[in-house]
Amino acid sequence: MKNTENISVSFMLNDSPQTISVNPLRRFSEVLREDLGLTGTKVGCDAGDCGACTIQIDGEQHNACLTAAAQLEGRSVLTVEGLSNNGNLSPLQQVFLDEGAAQCGICTPGMLMAAQSLLDQTPNPSEPQVLDALGGVLCRCTGYTKIVQAVLKAGQSSSTSSAPEIENQHSEIKKQKYVGTRMPKVDGYKKMTGEEIFGADKAPEDSLWLRAVRSPHPRAKFTHADPEIVLQKFPGLVRVLTADDVPGNNGFGIYPHIKDQPVLAKGHVRFRGEAVLALVGDRESVESVTDDDLGLKWEALEAVRGWERALSGKLEPVQSQIPDNILARGFLKKSDVEKAFSESDIVVEGQWTTSAVEHGYIEPEAGYARKIGQRLEIFVCTQTPYMDRDEVAQVMGLEPEQIRIIPSAVGGGFGGKLDLSLQPLVAIAAWILERPVRCIYTRPESLSSSTKRHPVRMSAKAGCNRDGKLTAFEYHGDFNTGAYASWGPTVADRVPIHCSGPYFVPSVLAETRALLTNESPSGAFRGFGVPQGAVAHEALMDELAEKTDIDPLEFRIRNALRKGDRTATGQLLENSVGQVECLEALQGRWRKWRADAEVFNQNSPHIRRGVGCGSVWYGCGNTSLSNPSTMKVGINAEGKITLYNGAMDIGQGANTIMIQICADALGLSATQFEFIMGDTDLTADAGKTSASRQAFVSGKAAQLAGEELRAQIIRLAEASENSNLRLEQIGTSDGGKLIVKDEAGRHEIILADILPLANGDVLIGEGTFDPPTTPLDENRQGSPYATYGFGAQIAEVEVDTLLGTTKVLRLAAAHDVGKAVNPTQVEGQIHGGIAQGLGMALMEEYIQGVSENLHDYLMPTVGDMPEIEVILIEDPEPLGPYGAKGIGEHALIPTAPAILGAIKHAVGVSIHHLPATPDRLFAALQAADSE
């Protein structure tokens, strides 16, 4: 492509004639984004697998990444930027916004274009037609349910909506009552139009490009040529960074005492995909330099793979300072489990293994860094700006205050963007070269270098009495943490607490180990190991139910945790324990679905149906650790209200619900709020977006901030507590004024009369909340979480016994969320969690060197999703904002157990290695046949 002459290409682009001089072979996605500035078209894979780049060419949907620029000659192109009209959303965009069809929004432009193409040809499509049209576009957040609903609705309605969408929506909401309403996303408009700025969508004009060079071996020694020699050969290269260029500590990690992962490896790599060098220069040069050009010489070493080898002691340890490869241990003991088993009427046990699972966010890691004076500014997609700031500072040998993290919109995270990726690389390059430096991971690079869900090898045992009351539970799990610690110790610690499920069990023993291997580092992924553990406890519940001849759902109800029970850590549950309500809410469907399956199976020898159940409980927040959040809300002289929101919105909707909560606490209209998200110079530390903590912890902080600002206003007005507040004259030259009305009359506060604070606001309210927990004793007894979310799901599957395939037909999910601050968003979280749980159960398995692209790594598409019904249970949590607690991780946890239980019900075989791919299920069926 380098030597190809540019040609002139003329085409229509969003109804305007366009002529460009371009390399005829260039990807059109790149031309749109880099040359024409139309970054609404996203790139998730550059290989035709994700559909994020879907555009219309002559009315048909096409992948812009697979379209060469020359192919556009004489054609007509429509991109997402061409859908809206003078700032007014198209009917389809409006329905997407109204229905909550976008979460992170990175797939939204592609989805919209695919859907619009269908609607142009088939104005009122059927559901199968919608599924067919959207089949090429992946979404990792929504579970597709609301997207399909939106397209069907758009087809059924020919009405157009031309007014500004957010104002319109909000005006229908009763003033000063936002919590509990389906307020559309406050950042939804930009997600619809393609204006939202993700990590790859922006960089200073004079930015250099950076590409990391990565190991093709899981374990190897290596040498490379002198960087100066490489630079002489490639004039477009400005720098070849090596480990010696790291100014501070060449090691990062999430724990203060473990900084084991090098920014750039020095002479020795521990996993395939580890960064060894970084090339900085013009884009063409950094992309064209080969490993040979760099004089890279590898001496491959025997790799430690899997649990057996990690513990065999026969190979050199992965990290020399940990000779037995046991990075961390977890433990829990409640009462005498051995005695309890000996006194139990029935005891069942089993072993299971699960695979590495990829987060699969559609937005690959991207961002840039630039040096400003003696500070570094880093624009990046992240779940945790303050942790990034502190990590980059120690890698750079700078003070944390010298680093500013400006988060981009985040195109999905799910725990995978909690660890550093490109941040230290672009930081080092920008600091040394004093030029802005940007980096966008390719999809294979993202897959090979990022963390995964821990594969686990586990055994578990459960006992009960003849009347079906649980007596004892024991669990042992070896979690494959891969080459570096990442979140391995957290997983080892969290699993024992949750491994006996949402049940009252008098005696529990649990042991876990996080093992180092030469595989991808395993980190945080929606549930921190708890989804894997749930596979074991739910399979054992089914078995005990069978042995006691009790219906599986009834068995769970009998044993469910209730108010007044003590958990496995001995914590007394006093409030917000909706487990029984969740299970009972599913009872009617359960009976009907089971009866339906029985009828179906009577005349279907090869296609068999079954219905299974899974339960979940999950502690919101960090385990027995302080995890505070601080939020601020300010009003300036013009009457502009800004929520300074440090709680990263990664698609789950933190930007919106924090405003809903704060607006209610303050007593002003949510439609008047603006927000700043995650900028470490402008927002306080709200902690990381993980552990299902933001709605609960940061939500409470937002409530407190709103209440504090309200109190200030009422004091200033010398009005009473029950006053009604109103903001007037926003943005006029007169400035803003607050009208405060109480029983005594009307009071006015002229905002311009108040001396501005350092940030320009005249009034600021601040709230901090740190959920109360206690340290755990040597048996891990205590109160590790301030609150827990509960839930249950039932799934109906259809198994083709001749092929081994499983199709999930329908799924009902009941979750106790305390209070649904925004039911649309809560439903969206549940749908998305179910999609990821379905993937974990049936198809997702990351294999290094094999599934490093989205063609070979299978994730659920729209066609894989069942019909989903969500039931929200609201047992209020007194500590939470208006009763709310978390849901982000809870929704995924019971899905795989429910599906596996349904398979067992359908065909009588238990799957003990996840995912239950057709080959595994077929082999299990054959083995069962031959018994």
Q: Which is nearer to ligand FES, 49 or 845 (CB)?
A: 49
Cis peptide before 915 (omega within 30 of 0): yes
Span from 37-45, 422-430, 568-576, 689-697 in contact with ligand FES (CB under 6 A): 37-45
Helix, strand, or coil here: 212?
strand
| Residue 804 or 837 with smaller CB distance to ligand FES | 837
> Shortest Cβ distance from residue 409 to ligand FES (Å)?
10
Q: Measured from the CB atom, is 107 or 613 closer to ligand FES?
A: 107
Q: Is 107 in the site for ligand FES (CB under 6 A)?
A: yes
- Measured from the CB of residue 443, what is the shortest distance to ligand FES in angstroms? 8
**CA pair distance 459, 351, nearest whole angstrom:** 4
Binding mask 66-105 for ligand FES (x = CB under 6 A): ------------------------------------xxxx
How far apart are CB 360 and ligand FES at their closest, in Å? Answer: 9
Which one-letter amino acid corresponds to residue 37? G
> Of 409 and 900, which CB lies nearer to ligand FES in the complex structure?
409
Residues 321-360, mask of contacts with ligand FES (x by CB under 6 A): ----------------------------------------
Q: What is the DSSP string of 850-919?
A: TS-STTTS----GGGPPEEEEEEE----TTSGGG----TTTTTTTHHHHHHHHHHHHHS----BSS--HH
Tokens of 845: 């398995």
Coil/strand/helix, residue 573: coil
CB 554 within 8 A of CB 720: no
The answer to whether 520 and 442 are in contact (CB under 8 A) is no
Q: Which of 72, 89, 106, 841 binds ligand FES (CB under 6 A)?
A: 106
Which of these segments, 50-58, 462-470, 672-680, 739-747, binds ligand FES (CB under 6 A)?
Answer: 50-58
Among 213, 237, 362, 516, indicate the residue that binds ligand FES (CB under 6 A): 362
**Binds ligand FES by CB under 6 A, chosen from 9, 30, 49, 222:** 49
Question: Does 139 participate in binding ligand FES (rule CB under 6 A)?
Answer: yes
Q: How far is the CB of 454 from ligand FES (least distance, A)?
A: 23
The tokens for 45 are 């894979």
In the complex with ligand FES, the residue whose CB is nearer, 32 or 560, is: 32
Among 62, 140, 558, 905, binds ligand FES (CB under 6 A): 140
**Per CB under 6 A, 412 contacts ligand FES:** yes
Residue 456 or 650: the one with the smaller Cβ distance to ligand FES is: 650
879 contributes a contact to ligand FES by CB under 6 A: no
Residue number with CB closer to ligand FES (50 or 179): 50
The amino acid occupying position 69 is A
Distance, CA of 82 to chain centre? 29
With binding defined as CB under 6 A, does residue 45 bind ligand FES? yes
Q: What's the Cα-to-Cα distance from 850 to each of 173, 707, 845, 858, 920, rounded to whole Å?
A: 51, 54, 10, 12, 18
Q: DSSP readout, 601-624?
A: HHT-SSEEEEEEEEEEEEE-SSSS
Under rule CB under 6 A, residue 622 binds ligand FES? no
Residues 693/216, Cβ–Cβ less than 8 Å: no
Distance CA 710, CA 274 (A): 51
Token digits of residue 915: 């995912």
Q: Say if strands 641-645 and 673-677 run parallel, antiparallel, or are unpaired.
A: parallel
Which region, judged by CB under 6 A, interacts with ligand FES, from 44-52, 293-301, 402-410, 727-735?
Answer: 44-52
Give SS3 for 248: coil
Using the rule CB under 6 A, is 463 a contact of ligand FES?
Answer: no
Minimum CB distance to ligand FES, residue 865 (Å): 13
DSSP class of 366: E
Host H or E run for residue 740: strand 737-742
Least spacing, CB of residue 320 vs ligand FES, in Å: 40
Applying CB under 6 A, the span of 46-54, 76-84, 213-221, 618-626 interacting with ligand FES comes to 46-54
Decide: 513 and 326 in contact? Cβ < 8 Å. yes
Size of the site for ligand FES (CB under 6 A): 25
65 contacts ligand FES (rule: CB under 6 A) = yes
Residue 50 vs 663, nearer CB to ligand FES: 50
Least spacing, CB of residue 69 vs ligand FES, in Å? 15
Selected from 141, 150, 154, 871, the binder of ligand FES by CB under 6 A is 141
Pairing of strands 867-873, 805-816: parallel
The span of 139-147, 217-225, 471-479, 859-867 binding ligand FES (CB under 6 A) equals 139-147
Question: Does 383 sit near ligand FES (CB under 6 A)?
Answer: no
Question: Tokens 């159940």 correspond to what residue?
Answer: 613
State the nearest-atom distance from the C-beta of 359 to ligand FES, in Å. 11
Q: Measured from the CB atom, is 44 or 415 closer to ligand FES?
A: 44
Angle of helix 579-602 relative to helix 895-907, nearest 10 degrees? 30
Task: Determine if 46 is a binding residue for ligand FES (CB under 6 A).
Answer: yes
Tokens 């601040």: give the residue.
Answer: 766
Comparing CA positions, the residue from 887, 825, 872, 414 lying closest to residue 696 is 887
Residues 404 and 352 sit within 8 Å (Cβ to Cβ): no
48 binds ligand FES (CB under 6 A): yes
Of the candidates 44, 218, 253, 839, which one interacts with ligand FES according to CB under 6 A? 44
Instruction: Indicate left, alpha or beta for 778 from its phi (over 0: left) and psi (-120 to 50: alpha).
Output: alpha
Comparing CB distances to ligand FES, the nearer of 109 and 531 is: 109
Min CB(101)–ligand FES separation in Å: 8
Residue 27 phi, psi (nearest 5): -60, 135
C-alpha angle 716-718-723 in degrees, rounded to nearest 5: 100
In 560-679, alpha helices (H): 579-602, 654-666
101 or 246: whose CB is closer to ligand FES?
Answer: 101
Which residues in this chain contact ligand FES in the complex, by CB under 6 A?
Answer: 43-46, 48-53, 63, 65, 102-107, 139-142, 362, 412, 651
